[in-house]
Amino acid sequence: MRDLFEKNFERESLYTTAQELRKQDLFPYFRELQSRQDVEVIMEGKRRLMFGSNNYLGLTTNQEIIEAAHKALDEFGTGCSGSRLLNGTLVLHQVFEKEMAEFLRKGDVVTFSTGFQSNLGIISALVGMGDYVICDRENHASIYDGCKLSYGKMLRYRHADMEDLERQLQKVPENAGCLIVTDGVFSMGGDIAKLPEIVALAKKYGARTMVDDAHALGIIGEGGRGTASHFGLEKDVDIYMGTFSKTLASLGGYMAADAKVCDFVRCNSRPYIFSASVTPVSIAVATASLRHLRSHPEIVDNLQNISQYMRDGLKARGIKIIEAKTPIIPIYTYDPIVTLTAQKALYERGVYVNATLPPACAPGECLLRCSLMATHTKELVDEAVEIIADVLHGLNL
């Protein structure tokens, strides 16, 4: 019998890639923050401009929200020590679910301990033996793992290719249930799903629809209500999924749907039933962030405006980007080593962005992923754009 650990260490994997990159001093991950998640941070002892965070509304440093966290800690302690099914349901959970359901104009909301767990719990509960789940190829990893955890069959369609989606729908037997799952805003490319076409095909073939709005809540749609609102399709999309860890400045996730669907998931989702509930501080912060978004809808416009300002600045300096109307701005760098070299040079010059490599992107389509916060200023954007342009032009990009 071979030693399991040694077998894993020897095989081709992200682990072996990481070891090679460390040898070349190009490993870009696990950088240590020594300050709050903000537009400017202290990372590994130096000031860096943060253009690699999903803190889209900049609420992690909002004083009212921090005070809500302190209040929850004082009143409810540090944790729930049990699942929602048993001793882990707080009044805080019930309040958030009611307010989020009202905001999203859905019948009910279910909360999960993380965003990743939300996709695991929703898909595995709803897609059973003999059913089908159809996914965009560029969906988030948690959607893929939710499909694996279900007893259904997964089919994939080429990214944003509606003809291919219809071909996959035609493979589903008439007596099988079918769920189409798509990211609303795709996390790497920043593009928005073709939701009107997806909904039309779902209706044509009798499928249900689910939209992962992890990168859409607070970003697009009326008052930041997400992808379905963006297209005027709130009554046509069956399930929204989202996370607390981005616009809501916390940790956790949610599902929004008709009340009966939510209740079914509560009773059948193993990741929900067998996990401890969202901590008091996390749910209180998510609620305070949601209330801030509702009372300050202009923050969504601020985010869109500063994102467009950075896109315009990069294009004016000849930087090739993926066009999208979101705060995610991917810059083409194509080759993995070139990408990592650029990311390292930017980091040393004081700008933090994310290197996007396979399997997060297609081979030969590597990116530097920039992301904006509503709290970024034009002065900080100008500073970052000048450094980015200088580094990339130096690499003939």
Give percent of the chain above pLDDT 70: 100
Could you report the per-residue pLDDT of 345-354, keeping only the tens digit for each? 999 999 999 9
Average pLDDT over all residues of the chain? 96
Could you report the per-residue pLDDT of 280-293, keeping only the tens digit for each? 999 999 999 999 99
> What's the pLDDT score for residue 302?
97
Residues with catalytic function: 187, 215, 246
Read off the amino acid at residue 317: R
Which value, in Å, is the radius of gyration of the alpha carbons in the chain? 21
Q: What is the CB neighbour count within 10 angstroms for residue 267?
A: 11
Does residue 218 contact residue 247 with C-beta atoms inside 8 Å? yes
So what's the architecture of 63-295 in CATH? 3-Layer(aba) Sandwich (3.40)
> How far apart (Å, rounded) are the C-alpha atoms in residues 24 and 336?
13
pLDDT exceeds cutoff 90 at 17: no
Give percent of the chain above pLDDT 90: 93
Comparison of pLDDT for 2 and 248, the residue scoring more = 248
Could you report the per-residue pLDDT of 366-380, keeping only the tens digit for each? 999 999 999 999 999
Does residue 189 contact residue 371 with C-beta atoms inside 8 Å? no
Q: Where do the structural domains in the chain lie, given as residue ranges?
A: 10-50+297-394, 63-295
Domain 10-50+297-394 has CATH 3.40.50.620: no
Which residue carries 């997400």 as its tokens?
A: 226
Q: Is beta strand 132-136 parallel, antiparallel or unpaired with respect to 40-43?
A: unpaired
Could you report the per-residue pLDDT of 135-191, keeping only the tens digit for each? 999 999 999 999 999 999 999 999 999 999 999 999 999 999 999 999 999 999 999
Q: What is the DSSP letter of 326?
A: S
Q: Positive or negative, the Cα torsion across 46, 377, 193, 134?
A: positive
- Mean pLDDT of the 97-119 span: 98
pLDDT exceeds cutoff 80 at 12: no
